[in-house]
Amino acid sequence: MARSRSSTRWLQEHFADPFVKKAQAEGMRSRAAYKLEELLAKDRLLKPGMVVVDLGAAPGGWSQVVRRELGDRGRVVALDILDMPPIAGVEFIHGDFREEGPLSQLEALLDGAEVDLVLSDMAPNMSGVDTVDQARAMYLAELARDFADRHLKVGGAFLIKLFQGEGFDAYVKDLRGRYERLVIRKPAASRRRSNEVYALATGRRRGKD
């Protein structure tokens, strides 16, 4: 089947992308690794010994970065609906975060350990219908926020990808009530035409669960 013009254009843009080329040259699993690298460097989120949960981890670019930065001190637990080839030092759960089973597995794996940082780069499969896609994205964002509420320690941090649109402003306002500080970031590796941004909430407040 012949590719559509839009898919051909996307492939051309993808393979010409300097961050895609950099990821290939440096053995990173995705260009998204450089989004996280910038955010970590700017906000100094990681410290040795941290427990980090990576939601929507596949193909593993963010988990790669966190594992590398933590060295042999700390723990990285990742989850995704897509399978992910193993990364040394990363504990992976294959399953749908919207379902109870994989979420229970994740909670069992944590075994009561308090989490220092929750990362969410989750996004729904896009239908091309903006209202549907935005609603699905916000639903995932709400699930990630609720997970952080249950497992983040007081003072912990939550970094999540959001798409600007219906529900975005209300979600950001809600996060501000749960954390001491919130900033919106647009990393250089995010494509300019994309409406994705990253909300970084730090200093989880006590009693917001």
**Which residues make up each annotated binding site for S-adenosyl-L-methionine?**
60, 62, 80, 96, 121
Residue ranges of the binding site: 60, 62, 80, 96, 121
Spatial separation of the C-alpha atoms in residues 120 and 81, rounded to whole Å: 13
State how far Cα 91 lies from the chain centre.
16
Label residues 146-183 b or e (16+ Cβ within 10 Å = b): ebbeebbeeebbbbbbbbeeebbeebbeebeebbeebe
Tokens of 48: 């040795």
21 as an active site residue: the answer is: no
105: left (phi over 0), alpha (psi -120 to 50) or beta: alpha
Torsion of CA 107, 33, 71, 119, to 10 degrees: -30
Query: Which residue among the candidates 21, 35, 161, 208 is catalytic per the annotation?
Result: 161
The residues carrying an active-site annotation are 161
